[in-house]
Chains A and B, each alone.
Chain A
Amino acid sequence: MKRNLLLRFVILASFIILLPTAGLARDIAPIVSTDWLLANLKNPKLVILDIRRVEDYREGHIPGALNAFYGAWAYMKDGLYASLPEKDEIDDTISYMGIHFDQWVVVTGCMDTPRLSYQSARVACTLQYAGIENVALLDGGMNKWIAEKKPLSKKIERRPASKFKGKYTSEKFADKHYIEERMGKLILLDLREREFFTGEKKMDCVPMRGHIPGAFNMPTSCAFNEDRTFKTKEELRAIAEEAAGKDLNAAIVTYCDAGQCCPTWSYLLMEVLGYKNVRLYVGSMQEWMQDPRAPVER
């Protein structure tokens, strides 16, 4: 019994000591600029994932970028719009891209609409879920790259496949049960636009109006400038602290309507602002509101 307690203490102490280093494994910034990317195009560690549709990729993409369409990373399953693929499917996708754990993966996509702008973060979070640490988002996405007249290629890129087997973390995503068990102890961030949070509007896919009781509203759109680049770290911090507070160890869950836009703040909170315990609820309101007994606030 005593030995068991000692073992538990050692594990807990190791966990607490190592916790601050959890976010320090990065070799690249979580958000990279178009200029940085251009300067690093020939870096052998770099892999660029272009998550736009195949048709758009073929029209012209960043030289060397691989096409990794968003639909492979989040798709409708069991009636939920943006479910997480099975682990072996994620392994298949990453293997096909020839990605290894030690590579720097920059995700870029189309920023034409808010919904499209949020997709890169979902892919980044999924890569991290699989254990790839050096993941980054291209600031401004393909729209900025093209607007700046940076080089484009029409060559369809392929890399030798890797035999990727993800080291999946259980700390990236939350499900309904996780939230229900911790109601009142979590900081819930509702990342939809205000009128969806208050219940004035609702998406067709969400059965009921309103939000999870106690949630704070922090729309995903607030993270972006008008040109779809991210706001500065200071601006992001001011927005985040208003809703999530200053405690970087607080347990936070982000959600939206269908799990498509909540990855953005989840990624920013953890990777840019240093919050350590942030999960995103993939099923989001689409799943939560299907349960007529689930608590709802308007």
Chain B
Amino acid sequence: MYKGYVVDKALLDKDPHFKAGCILCHAGNDGELSKEKAHLRMLKKPSDNLRSCGVCHKKTAANYAKSLHYTTIGQRTGVMPRFSEAELKTFDEKVFEKSCRSCHASCGDCHVKGAPVGGISIGLVAKHKFVKKDEGKTCAFCHGGRVYPEYTGDYGGAPDVHYQKGMLCMDCHKKAEFHGDGTAYKSKNEVPQRPACKSCHPQGKEAKKETQVAHSLHDGKVSCYGCHSGSAYRNCNDCHGGHAAAGPGMILGRSPRDRKVLTTLRLIPTVRDTFAPAGIKMEHFDAVPNYWDTPAHNIKKRTERTRKCDVCHVDRKNFLTKETLIKNGAKANEELIFVPKAIAR
């Protein structure tokens, strides 16, 4: 057997994907002896065309075609309020289709071979086995700049409490969230299958009375992350912006999506000249803040904020202030500043 043969031979008889041979997905000509002829019209990544998988997995492939992992439309939704109508058209043509969309995940990227990120791929997840999930090799690779290392504690600080308890991505983020339900959502915030802390930790069921009181006092005012984000996380801008050294940071401010709620914010890398090379000035740059509400993945049961009210109400630690706002940022940033009140004692 050819030493470089990448498919584990033991799989061939076990997995129905291989029943009809390689050509079922990869096309090419299996009757030819020369490599050149055999590989003619061969598909390297068959699932780039969802119809390949859709032959057998019709509903899943149809749903997935509209899912956010495939459409990556969330990136467009986030940035589009900065553009005029004409600019949006240019953005769609020159940036979204040519750049943002390159990040979409095909079926194979999660189930067979890791997607290339910055030109680097982990290769086959498990010798061409069609895996149901392998978060450490797939999710971790695309979401490895932030989120996954925060979750595992690799940026320093304690790992997320869920990781400490042996949980991985898909213990909270269910299959339906990735495969989609057939609706083309514009943003992850619209996805009904998104996990929510309260689904597993219903309010009012806390073991301790003081915890119940603390939760009830902050309910609707502070997101769970606001207090339970336990350690370092990275801002997108730390790596992409070129304006700040990469390093852990954590910011608390009003949620751009719901100004009544205080939550964890992440500084995103869109600055005034981000799309200048594409000829886009961003006429409405100031309409959208440079900070997005972020679901922190470094949750801890006990943090300095849960231990001591003064961390927020007196020290105002890591709260967004006029002084800490990004320089030359959007005017909308100022609306996210929140000054916690002192507690009457």
Which A positions have Cβ atoms within 8 angstroms of B? 53-55, 57-58, 67-69, 71-72, 75-77, 81, 85-86, 88-89, 92-93, 96, 156
Contacts and interface: CB of A to CB of B under 8 A. Distances in A.
24 contacts: A53-B136, A53-B152, A54-B163, A54-B167, A54-B168, A55-B136, A69-B159, A69-B163, A69-B166, A71-B158, A72-B159, A72-B164, A75-B156, A75-B157, A75-B159, A76-B157, A76-B231, A76-B232, A77-B157, A81-B156, A85-B158, A86-B302, A89-B301, A156-B166
B159 A55 contact: no
B166 A54 contact: yes
A58 B137 CA distance: 13
A53 B159 CA distance: 11
B341 interface: no
Given A68-B164, A76-B157, 5 more contacts: A69-B163, A71-B158, A76-B232, A92-B302, A96-B165
Interface in B119-163: 135-137, 140, 152-153, 156-159, 163
User: Interface size bucket, B side?
Assistant: 20 to 34
Nearest to A55: B136
B164 A58 contact: no
A76 B159 CA distance: 10
Contacts of B153: 71, 75
A15 B157 CA distance: 39
Nearest to B154: A71
B152 A71 contact: yes
A55 B302 CA distance: 25
Contacts of A55: 135-137, 140, 168
A81 B232 CA distance: 13
Residue among B158, B168, B231 with the highest chain A CB neighbour number at 10 A: B158
Nearest to B151: A54
B2 to A, nearest CB: 27
Contacts of B167: 54
Contacts of B163: 54, 69, 71
Interface string B219-233: 000000000000110
Contacts of B302: 86, 88-89, 92
A156 B136 CA distance: 16
B159 A71 contact: yes
Contacts of B232: 76
A292 B120 CA distance: 43
A278 to B, nearest CB: 27
B168 to A, nearest CB: 6
A81 B301 CA distance: 21
B156 A76 contact: yes
Contact of B164 (A71, A86, A156): A71
Contact of A75 (B137, B158, B166): B158
Contacts of B140: 55
Nearest to B307: A86
Contacts of A75: 153, 156-159, 231
